[in-house]
Each structure stands twice: as C-alpha cells, then as structure tokens.
Structure 1
C-alpha cells in the first residue's frame, strides 16, 4: 500500500482556516464527508477527538497526524491540510502545527493501520518533503509531493 492508495487529490487542502484544534478536527471531518458523502461527519469528528484525548498526535516540526478507526469505513482514507496559520496542537515539541495528515482506518482493522501511520510519519520526518509542501502553489502540486514520497510499500 502506498500513501496514494488512501489519499486522493480532492483530499488535499491548502491554506485551510482553523484557529483551534477542535475546529480543525471538525473541518477535517467535513472535508472527508465532502469527498465521500457516505462518511459520517459526526462519527469521524468524535473518533478523532477521542483519539486526541488519549494524547496529542502533534509529532513535532509543525506536523500532526490525527488518526482514528471509524466503524463503517470501507477502507483507508487520508486527508492532507496545510493551514493558513499555525495553531496550538499540544505537539511533543511544543511548536504550533501548520501541516496535518489525517488518517481514517476501518473499524475492523486490528493492527495493520500501524504501517500506514509509519509511512506518513516517515514522509513528514523528511525536512525536504515538509519544505516542498510548504512551498506548494496548488493542491495538485502538494498531492504530487505526497504521492511521490509515498512510493515505499507498506503492508495493509
């Protein structure tokens, strides 16, 4: 599985306006639904917020990886958002977050989501990738960066 297997161009958002973590999570849930109307906004928002209550998914370097299992989801779904202004996210390095990759996994999955999380995390540890995403002029450009960076195979 590659990142491009669960990220589509319509789920790449640049200059998203959200001023708080809860508002960002709500906007992410709405964007997932906009891409696939069968995705329940309230279920996604509740699942992502519940995961954040366990501990922040702000991984440092201005990046967060909110993720959750959603029962009725037929497969993996990813969404990338570059924020118009960084927000407080309780990240491990204390820095605000300006880029978010949200990952939804089917509720029936046991542990295979770990591979997808690792692939996304590995991609965003690369300073060159983060810089290319910061400089992307369009959502299509950002999708290209993410799809290129997601070439290594990961197990489902």
Structure 2
C-alpha cells in the first residue's frame, strides 16, 4: 500500500460503539494492538484533539487524528461501526466509518498530507459506498489497499 501512512490488516475492524467516547476508545485499542502503542496515551491524544472541535467529517465519516511523541511515521486505522453513532459532525449525521490517524509529534506537512489523503478517500462516492457495503474487516482492508495503490499509480 503506497500511502503517506502505514496500515495493517489488524488496524481495520468492524466494531460496536454506543457513543463518541466509545468510538475513540475502540480506535485507541485498535491502534494500540496493531502498532504496539499504549492505549491510554493514544486515547489521551485523540481526546485532546477532539476537545478542539469534532473531527466528524460529514456524510457518515469521522477522522479522529492526533500527533504523538515517539512515532516515526504516520499510522492509520479504520473502523466500520455496526450501527451509526452521533459524533457531533458538522452536517449533524451520525457516523459509521471512522478513519484514525496518528502522526509523529513534529510532523507538520506529513500529517496534513495524510489527512488530505484520507479526506479524498472519504469524499469518493464509490469508495464510500464500497466501504459501507463491505461484509468484513478483510474486505475493508482489501478495498483500502486497492484504492490507495490505484491512486498512487
């Protein structure tokens, strides 16, 4: 996968969450288990960024992100929710697709490029529909891998 951020098959999951806080906890757990990080530290950084304003992107998508010390490159995770959850998005719609991004603390432009890449992915109607229809995490990862490889070509 040729992206500005690293993803692994285990960093893509279908989960149940009942609140925005629950989503951030699931995302922190996914990052921690996939990239050997401290889940408490991940959650603290995601919540700190979220306190500045919702990362609810719109159209049922949220992009929680944060910069963290100790990372060497941007890391990505993706959650598909079993059912939509309110995330205080600007358009007022609940989210069911959550793209997470963690970047090194001092990664200004790299972090912004990774966010832009995720944003383009989330805005693509065909990709959005395919992710929404994916039956399992393996299919989600396959779709993400194919899209990012296609866009890099």
Q: What range is the shorter-chain TM-score in?
A: over 0.9
1:96 alignment partner in structure 2: 94
1:115 is displaced (CA, Å) by 0.7
User: Displacement of 1:25 after TM fit?
Assistant: 0.6
Q: TM-score, normalised by structure 2?
A: 0.92
Task: Measure how far apart 1:108 and its partner are.
Answer: 2.3
Aligned mates of 2:116, 2:73 — CA distance in 1: 17
Please tell me whether residue 34 in structure 1 is matched to residue 24 in structure 2. Answer: no
- Determine the C-alpha separation between the residues in 2 that align with 1:36 and 1:79: 10
Structure 1 residue 78: Cα displacement = 0.5
Show the counterpart of 1:3.
Answer: 3
Counterpart in 2 of 1:106?
A: 104
TM-score (norm 1): 0.91
SS at match of 1:2: coil
- Alignment deviations for residues 101-128 of structure 1 (CA, whole Å, 9 cap, x no partner): 0000011212221111001100110111
CA RMSD, aligned part only? Answer: 1.5
Q: Residue 130 of structure 1 is aligned with which of 109, 124, 128?
A: 128
Distance in 2, matches of 1:111 and 1:99, equals: 25
Any gaps of 5 or more consecutive residues in structure 2? none
Distance 1:103 1:33 in 2: 12
Structure 1: gaps of 5 or more residues: none
